[in-house]
Structure 1
């Protein structure tokens, strides 16, 4: 374990011996690092045994929290190490739906480039295109329509 990872775990109240232990708000160390944009901690956390498929109480994984933070490099990193890109949370919303509904056009484009499924529907039967909250998101998603 790197000194930086040890400091991060202790600072956020995580045990040193359980890389997937949920902390505040049900976030694991990997989720917390993603939410804070701490891309430099991703590899050390994975080497420590953190799993990218773990979900919090809302059905969100670390990729969701990376989308919340908004760093495209972090999103790319998590997808590259196997984070499920189309994980749907407890409301049936995917990361693509989340970034689209929050006007994060750059992340819409990144997720589409990485293979996110724009045809998924949430529990209200809405797709990311239906939820588009900005012209940039709308343009990115409309490019996919015939």
Structure 2
């Protein structure tokens, strides 16, 4: 069972107003969120796991746009950061589903937010070869001129990913040729006997 921290208790200690149980979602949507939270071992929308992952981050990572919308309606903290300073948009970009990405940007998340390693969502998408996510983020205003600590931009990272992919494909082709040649040699030897 995941160790969970009670964010609501932290908010009470900070003197922040907690939403009333009747605010936000209608009863059917609220019970759907409650079931989802329970299934993922979160006591409420304000809680987080030991890594700082919130329910909103987890739903975004899984591309569950309906749950992302319901969590936002329920008052989930949209600007929360995990232990590496990643926000829910980062997690949405890992999945690549456009719905949660659009919803979180509309909710006010900064498309150019850099995490603790000074890497943006656009850079992460590029490093993983997620061209679809890159184009979506750029269309939402992400800057392609930001530079990571290693001196590369997102497009540099995408180029590096593409080069590695091409090298891998070339190695696979060579391995297949060698395997085919080995099989042909073995067949020739068997036929000679």
Short-chain TM bin = 0.7 to 0.9
Q: Give the whole-Å Cα distance in 1 for the aligned partners of 2:43 and 2:89.
A: 22
1:7 correspondence with 2:35: yes
Q: Structure 1, residues 35-77: CA drift from partner, whole Å, max 9, x if none? A: 1111001222112211221110011000100111111222112
1:66 correspondence with 2:92: yes
User: Which structure 1 segments of 5+ residues have no match?
Assistant: 136-146
Report 1 or 2 for greater relative contact order, CA contacts < 8 Å, sequence distance ≥ 6.
1
Aligned partner (choices 109, 112, 115) of residue 89 of structure 1: 115
Say which SS state the counterpart of residue 155 (structure 2) adopts.
coil
**Structure 2 counterparts to residues 5-84 of structure 1, below 5 A:** 5-16=33-44, 19-84=45-110
Q: Give the whole-Å Cα distance in 2 for the aligned partners of 1:73 and 1:128.
A: 22
Q: Give the whole-Å Cα distance in 1 for the aligned partners of 2:82 and 2:49.
A: 10
Aligned pairs, how many? Answer: 133
Structure of higher CA gyration radius: 2
Q: Structure 1, residues 76-112: CA drift from partner, whole Å, max 9, x if none? A: 1211121221111111100000001111111111000
- Give the C-alpha shift of residue 24 in structure 1: 5.0
Q: Structure 1, residues 3-25: CA drift from partner, whole Å, max 9, x if none? A: 11001111111113xx2321253
Q: Give the whole-Å Cα distance in 1 for the aligned partners of 2:64 and 2:42.
A: 16
Q: Give the whole-Å Cα distance in 2 for the aligned partners of 1:71 and 1:92.
A: 23
Spell out structure 1 runs of 4+ moving beyond 3 A.
none
Q: Give the whole-Å Cα distance in 2 for the aligned partners of 1:30 and 1:127.
A: 28
Using structure 1 for the length normalisation, give the TM-score: 0.84
User: Which structure 2 segments of 5+ residues have no match?
Assistant: 1-24, 164-193
Using structure 2 for the length normalisation, give the TM-score: 0.65
Q: Give the whole-Å Cα distance in 2 for the aligned partners of 1:51 and 1:115.
A: 23
Q: Structure 1, residues 110-146: CA drift from partner, whole Å, max 9, x if none? A: 00000001111122222101111238xxxxxxxxxxx
